[in-house]
């Protein structure tokens, strides 16, 4: 188990490194990265979700899984609460710095790295269940997460949650429950399979390309140390303790444990620029937690899921 998890994380870091190298050598520009990221998020990732759910989700399992998005949302809410309690205070810290600190306490890499881990360790059936679980993470990210960066009311940012990926997941679940799978044309299923196969590798390469110009020199050493400890150790420990106290199905608990120990989201580096956060702090935290997760994630998950 532990070796499989390590291989999955190294796989992710390898793809990110290819993106960094491609950007450094001039194969990708900032315009290319932004444009192709939208293609992957709006087309390839929904195709992966649709194909996985239609082919691997047991409709009867939804009786167990229906509550899992609430668990996913709750874990991010716990991080947000910790962030509000422990965010630095004082005139030396700008509002942008404090908002970014709080955001990174709450939001982690709930999507791309877990997709690789879940599929490699437990297979496509668990991945289909993960997409259901992740509905709660999407809701939290585009409401709580963006609100923490901008102070906009949640209803002004919630509309961003209605992404093609979320809509396609809901559509796939409805079709599955309605028993429509035998009526879906085979070319559609083959097309979504082919598109989905490239979703995760391509988005990780693009994430690396987007991170390259922001590779930091670690100026915020004190805040960075605190955020690394919070994001990789303290907040996961709180969430894992709460999960242990809840009467959850084994599959739901397993997915929740994976998401709980993830490093910071690379997407948050982009959001910090878009929503008036602190991009330098965001880049430092995303890079440091992703690198250190090579150590923390296998150790914690290997112990929890042995």
> pLDDT tens per residue, the chain (306 residues)?
677 778 887 888 889 899 989 999 999 887 887 788 778 888 998 999 999 999 998 888 887 788 999 999 999 999 999 999 998 887 778 888 899 999 999 999 998 889 888 988 888 899 999 999 998 998 888 888 888 887 666 566 656 667 788 889 989 999 988 888 888 999 999 999 999 998 888 888 887 887 776 666 667 788 889 999 999 999 999 999 999 999 998 889 999 999 999 999 877 877 777 777 787 888 888 888 988 988 899 889 888 877
Cβ–Cβ < 8 Å for 107, 260? no
pLDDT at res. 232? 96
What are the structure tokens assigned to 226, written together? 């605190």
The alpha-helical segments, DSSP class H, found in the chain are 2-24, 30-39, 45-56, 62-65, 68-86, 95-106, 112-122, 124-140, 146-150, 154-157, 164-177, 186-197, 199-211, 221-229, 235-245, 250-260, 267-274, 279-304
């Amino acid at each position: 188990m532990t070796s499989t998890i390590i291989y999955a994380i190294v796989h992710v870091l390898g793809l990110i490194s290819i993106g960094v190298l491609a950007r450094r050598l001039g194969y990708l520009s900032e315009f290319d990265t932004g444009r192709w990221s939208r293609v992957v998020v709006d087309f390839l990732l929904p195709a992966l979700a649709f194909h996985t759910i239609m082919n691997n989700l047991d409709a009867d399992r939804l009786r167990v899984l229906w509550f899992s998005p609430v668990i996913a949302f709750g874990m991010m809410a716990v991080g947000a609460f910790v962030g509000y309690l422990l965010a630095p205070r004082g005139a030396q810290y700008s509002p942008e710095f404090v908002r970014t600190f709080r955001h990174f306490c709450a939001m982690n890499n709930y999507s791309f790295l877990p997709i690789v881990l879940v599929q490699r360790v437990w297979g496509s059936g668990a991945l289909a269940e993960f997409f259901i679980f992740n509905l709660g993470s999407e809701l939290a990210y585009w409401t709580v997460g963006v609100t923490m960066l901008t102070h906009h009311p949640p209803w002004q940012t919630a509309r961003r949650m209605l992404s093609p990926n979320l809509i396609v997941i809901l559509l796939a679940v409805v079709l599955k429950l309605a028993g429509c799978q035998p009526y879906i044309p085979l070319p559609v299923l083959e097309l979504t399979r082919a598109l989905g196969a490239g979703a995760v590798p391509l988005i990780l390469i693009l994430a690396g390309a987007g991170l390259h110009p922001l590779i930091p020199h670690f100026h915020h050493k004190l805040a960075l140390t605190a955020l690394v400890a919070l994001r990789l150790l303290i907040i996961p420990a709180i969430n894992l303790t709460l999960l242990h106290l809840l009467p959850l199905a084994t599959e739901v608990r397993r997915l929740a444990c994976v998401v709980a120990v993830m490093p910071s989201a690379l997407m948050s580096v982009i959001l910090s620029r878009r929503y008036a956060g602190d991009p330098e702090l965001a880049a430092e935290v995303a890079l440091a937690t992703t690198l250190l997760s090579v150590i923390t994630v296998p150790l914690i998950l290997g112990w929890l899921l042995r």
